[in-house]
Amino acid sequence: MKSNAEMNEKSLEITAEIFEPMCDLMTDKEFAKLYVTDLKKAMAYACKAHKEEVIKIASALEGTTPDKYVVNPFLLPINLIATIGAYSKMAKDLFPSQARSMEETSSGSATENTEVIDQQTDS
């Protein structure tokens, strides 16, 4: 079993490896537009128009280099959706309470932020 330090180090290495190709994807105006409106189309577009970046991301997630990476048609979509789609509209739709809580703001007042419920008392 790996220690937390080893897992943290590996996670940081993967993040460093995928950061540049993710930025390259996000700078593509067509991908960026699809990313916020339709994750499925964004994924398809990325695989067609940005094969090199997709391979870099997928290989980093698999722990190999792009030249040694072999595309697994079953795992690739799952890995890409989990990685690229983490903050997409679809992710917000899957977890609406989280998206809503991120958008709501609190006034800081306990009395303003709580709902009063009338309860009948037995006399």
pLDDT above 80: residue 2: no
Long-range CB pairs of 53-60, under 8 A, 24+ apart, other chains included: 53/21, 53/22, 53/24, 53/25, 54/21, 54/80, 56/17, 56/18, 56/20, 56/21, 57/18, 57/21, 57/22, 57/83, 57/84, 60/14, 60/17, 60/18
Average pLDDT over residues 34-45: 86
What 3-state DSSP class applies to 44? helix
Lowest-pLDDT range of 5-14, 54-63, 66-75, 91-100: 91-100
Q: What is the pTM of this model?
A: 0.63
The predicted structure's pLDDT at residue 86: 67
